[in-house]
A and B are shown apart, each in its own frame.
Chain A
Amino acid sequence: MKPASASPGGELCIMDASGHQQLTWRLDRSDEISAARAAFEHWLTQGYTAFGALTRTQAKHAIKTFDPAMEEVILVPRIVGG
Chain B
Amino acid sequence: MRHIERIDNSIVAHANRMDDALKSPVRTPAWRQLGTQGSRWIRNWHDARAREQQAIRAARRAERRALTLLLRILSADQRRDFRQHGHIHVTGASSGSRYRIRVAPFANIDVLACNGIVAHRLCVQPMGELPIFDVIAGQILYLQDPGAEEGFLRHANIHPTRHDEFMSRLPG
Contacts and interface: CB of A to CB of B under 8 A. Distances in A.
Pair from one complex: yes
Interface of A: 13, 15-20, 49, 51, 56, 59-62, 72, 74, 76-82
Interface of B: 58, 61-66, 68-69, 72-73, 75, 106-107, 123-131, 134, 137-138, 141-142, 144-148, 151-152, 155-157
Contacts of A78: 126-127
Contacts of B142: 49, 76, 79
A82 B104 CA distance: 12
Nearest to A80: B127
5 contacts: A19-B63, A20-B69, A20-B134, A51-B145, A82-B123
- Grouping DSSP codes into helix (H, G, I), strand (E, B) and loop, the B interface class, with mixed when no group exceeds half, is helix
A81 B157 contact: yes
Contact of A74 (B68, B137, B146, B155): B137
- Top 3 A-B pairs, shortest CB-CB distance: A19-B65, A82-B123, A76-B138
Given A60-B141, A77-B138, 10 more contacts: A15-B137, A20-B69, A56-B72, A77-B127, A77-B128, A78-B126, A79-B155, A80-B155, A82-B107, A82-B124
B127 A20 contact: no
Contacts of A79: 124-127, 138, 142, 151-152, 155
A72 B151 CA distance: 23
Given A77-B127, A79-B126, A62 B145 contact: yes
